[in-house]
Structure 1
Amino acid sequence: MKKNIQLTALLITTNLAYAEVDLLITDATIISPITQSEVSIKTNHWLSINEGRIIEVSDKAKKPPAKKIINANGQFLIPGLTDSHTHLRTMPGLLKTDKDAPKMQTAYLKRQGSNYLYYGVTQVVDPANTAQGIASFKELNMSPNAYFCGAMPIYQGYSAQGIKYQHLNERRPYYVHQHGDPTHLNTPSVNSLHEAQAVVKRLKKDGAICAKIFLEDGFDKATNIRLINNENVEQIVDEANRQNLPVMVHANATDMHSVALNNHVDILAHGIWNWLDEHQQGDDISLALPKNVQRVADGILTAQTYYQPSLNVMRSLTDVMVPNHLDNPKYKTVLPSWQISWYTSADGQWFAREMLSGWQGLTQQQKIDYLRSKQINGKRVLNYLYKNGGKILLGSDTPPAPTYASQPGLSTFWELQDMHDSGVDLVGLLASATINNAKAYGLESKYGTIQPGKIANILLLNSNPLVSVDAYDDIHSIILNGNAHKREIFHIRNL
């Protein structure tokens, strides 16, 4: 009897091992990150996928039957990329008063997901969205798997400026009220929803994967924006820890990063390009950091806080002022001709004019050079952090402002290039876009590596990403939730 049971178990196991799968990829070089400095490389391997999940990674001669087979011919399989700082609601650079704005917005939203997929982004995180907003994104054509963070601005603070208090609940559902707010304009029941701890519990219940706060008192040296008080920050961090939610912080200046570190946050959502009274000394990114900047950077290293350089922010704010920037042929991979034409029109140039206005008599080139110096600041901090073991995340912040120089997918690729130019080697670059983001946002059980059980969001590359950053623009196929798609179908000419 015992022998029969063992034989039956063996037969069941054998049948399961060789059951038909949805997709089999053969003869692949599988590159999967282990840590930020170590990768697993498996040559001549096959990978099986069923019901959207990776089933097996092996080099055994015996392979399962499959409904679809792809011969990789030695090409490279890597995990799909995560861009952990995106804004999915509005066409970059849209002028809302334009007569064609609704039509442009609709067309953009319909293809936005495909733009990301063209550049290998199979997961996105929008740190200022809602469950409803993410559902709407997923409904519009094919798109990456999407997640959101609950963004918690304060009345008259960054991301909530100009909104009347009685409208905050509708327009910023996770705002946090604090002492001095005109709470009499709301009912007690609404006010109770916006106590710091209550907001964190609510956004977790709504499906947010992190809690986001804003530490921004004004751009550059300005201090004209209301700042969240430290008591609220402490309550948010404490409750987020209880809810097992990472806390993500908008901050880009040394003083605001210091506040964030003092409150033991998990993710810094912007690089330090604003050095306040410190001055950068040329274009060499390997130069020693000024004393105060290094102090903050060392605090990031000591706390092992995840750091998202978002170099795309200053790059795209600069490039919108550069004459003929839209002539870059890369834009033709994600932008239809009508959109490029509109961006170059008088109406489409509205934000470029806004960026160029003022500046106390500086020439256009001086303005561009000033913002480029801020880019160098951010690159130097990234260089220092990465060389000293900092935990780096890929997050493009697309778009960071109404700048047409920040487009879905393309900005992610340019962010990878800028990070590499800043000293992040190719192993660290892969980790920042995959395993690091998965760990930082609590998605490690789903993404970040090529292992059985993970969601089958995978890229088949023609080139080796451990040889050149350009491999991320040499994609053969995108496997999304187990379904394989040739990259070309996501090119703008095919949408």
Structure 2
Amino acid sequence: MKPALLPALLPALVATLMLCTPAFGADKTWIANVKLVSPERLDRIETGSVLIEGGRIARVERGPSRPAPAGASVVDGKGYYLTPGLIDSHVHLHVVPGMSMEQGASGDSLARAYFLQLPRSFLYYGFTTVIDLAVSDYGMIERLRKEPLHPDVFHCGEALVLANGYPMSFFSPDKRFQSFGNYLFDPAMPTVVPAQFAPSAHTVAAGVARVAKAGGICVKTHFERGFGAERNLPVMSRAKFAEVRAAVTQAGKVLITHANSFEAQSFAVAGGADVLAHGMWHWGALNGQAGLPQEIKALLDKIVDQRTGYQPTMQVLYGLRAYVEPGYLDDPALRKVVPAALLAWFSTPQGQWFKPEVTDGEEDAAVMQGMEGPLRRQRAVVAYLAGRDANFVFGSDTPSSPTYGNLPGLNGYREMRQLHAAGMSLAQIFKAATMNNARTFGLDRELGSIEVGKAANLLLLKTSPLDDISAYDSVVTVWVRGQQTAREALAADYK
């Protein structure tokens, strides 16, 4: 550079250096005057302070607040409650609630607006970590991770789906094999595979390897005979499931099985599944019994003794009920997690396209009544497991189907309310959404509690989650990897 040019360029050079160099202390945050609520120390809910440095928890002090470390910005917690960020271990990020798969993937402006708001909606209700159980679009995962504000995202890769079984069965035979690249061929099942899709490329080993290569932390399988018009779908043989169990163990992953019936959960527990994705709302021949049958109690005892992870996902049925629930779309809470234009579209004839599939020709009141039986059975199972302190792992199944009744963030909060009403204690719900999830999915060295060295994924709440379930709707501030955001700035209707 010529010396004569230096005076003219100096202001620009200084400005550039100021943009590239973080302000002194910007990487340190001292959260003081808070009550610490962490799952590993629920016996010590006391005033304390936390230092965040480099996106991690650098210090945890219990007792009266001390002066802030040199160079740290200070957050006065006003006597509120500081907790770990919440983990939702059952989401489906590629789906736009209320839209068909084709609509959601079309690039429509409503879909684009939804995906922009999606990460903020999870954060609005304190979910700083989500786990996608069945990836359909890896690009969606990467786009979400690149958003300026987003929860930590983990996934199970493409689900290990039995050829022609659930959920491949939703697609026509000429499209299902293109849509599910990680299908599993089981010679024990009399099912047709098109000639161009060689079964030899769809062994258990190949399927688990695909998940591992894609960075999955878990492998999802299914035991589902079907519902509605399809009730005789092929399901995995015990021998094939044992092969899956062995391969998943060897790969160091977590085995999750979609199972919502007594038969399915019996199969998965006998085969050693790590997590049961869904509650038990189908009891088969035992459906009509008023109390909890002894046969089901015996299975639930095994689930408790084996410490199998249990995701009740009660909002699945409530999500379907949204189409026949008076006033659902008028709830002000929806405006916080869904862009206004999409919320308005839900009320249009086009936005109601999924209702006929939910009602199947029945009146709204009859549909509501028809769901009471499955919900009663599900509540009975949750209450029994809660009484035995089972290994609940929190998952909301957002969204469980093309319904607008499972909205990101809000669906998780409503799941918590339903779990509490069913019999889970506030402490059980808190642990399920923090440490239980972290341990079960192998993330506990990084997440799940307020401990030195862990990621600074934290929530400031006005109310303790051990005092009232509504605490999860009292978030004031969210930190993800040390990045601080006020809750109101995360709302879809924020101006």
TM over 0.5: yes
Instruction: Provide the residue aligned with 2:196 in structure 1.
Output: 186
Q: Is the 8 A contact 2:110 2:341 kept in 1?
A: no
Distance apart, 1:280 and its partner CA: 5.3
- Aligned-residue identity in percent: 28
**Letter in structure 2 aligned against 1:45:** G
Distance apart, 1:267 and its partner CA: 0.2
Instruction: Provide the residue aligned with 1:338 in structure 2.
Output: 341
Any stretches of 5+ residues in structure 1 without a counterpart? 1-18, 283-287
Distance apart, 1:207 and its partner CA: 0.8
Instruction: Provide the residue aligned with 1:136 in structure 2.
Output: 143
Distance apart, 1:64 and its partner CA: 1.5
**CA 115–32 in structure 1, closer or farther in 2 if over 3 Å, else same:** same
**Letter in structure 1 aligned against 2:99:** L
Distance apart, 1:134 and its partner CA: 1.6
What are the residue-to-residue correspondences of 1:15-414 with 2, within 5 Å?
22-34=28-40, 39-59=42-62, 61=66, 63-95=68-100, 102-129=108-135, 131-150=138-157, 151-161=159-169, 163=171, 170-179=178-187, 180=190, 182=192, 185-186=195-196, 191-219=199-227, 223-279=231-287, 288-358=291-361, 363-414=363-414
> What CA RMSD, in Å, does the superposition of the two structures yield over aligned residues?
2.4
Distance in 1 separating the partners of 2:176 and 2:71: 53
Distance in 2 separating the partners of 1:84 and 1:124: 6
- 1:203-222 deviations in Å (ceiling 9; x for gaps): 12321011110100112896
Q: Is the 8 A contact 2:113 2:339 kept in 1?
A: no
- 1:198-254 deviations in Å (ceiling 9; x for gaps): 211331232101111010011289632121222221111011111221100001010
- 1:397-455 deviations in Å (ceiling 9; x for gaps): 01111111110000000001111111111111110000000011110111110001111
Q: What secondary structure sits across from 2:453 in the alignment?
A: coil
Any stretches of 5+ residues in structure 2 without a counterpart? 1-24
Q: What secondary structure sits across from 2:161 in the alignment?
A: coil
Bigger shift: residues 91-100 or 76-85: 91-100
Distance apart, 1:344 and its partner CA: 0.9
Distance in 2 separating the partners of 1:162 and 1:401: 11
Distance apart, 1:54 and its partner CA: 0.5
Distance in 2 separating the partners of 1:464 and 1:266: 30
Distance in 2 separating the partners of 1:280 and 1:140: 49
Bigger shift: residues 420-429 or 162-171: 162-171
**Letter in structure 1 aligned against 2:116:** K
Q: What secondary structure sits across from 1:258 in the alignment?
A: helix
**CA 483–157 in structure 1, closer or farther in 2 if over 3 Å, else same:** same
Instruction: Provide the residue aligned with 1:7 in structure 2.
Output: none
Distance apart, 1:266 and its partner CA: 0.5
Distance in 2 separating the partners of 1:220 and 1:161: 12
Q: What secondary structure sits across from 1:212 in the alignment?
A: strand
**CA 241–326 in structure 1, closer or farther in 2 if over 3 Å, else same:** same
Number of residue equivalences: 464
Distance in 1 separating the partners of 2:56 and 2:270: 40
Distance in 1 separating the partners of 2:110 and 2:196: 36
Distance in 1 separating the partners of 2:173 and 2:453: 46
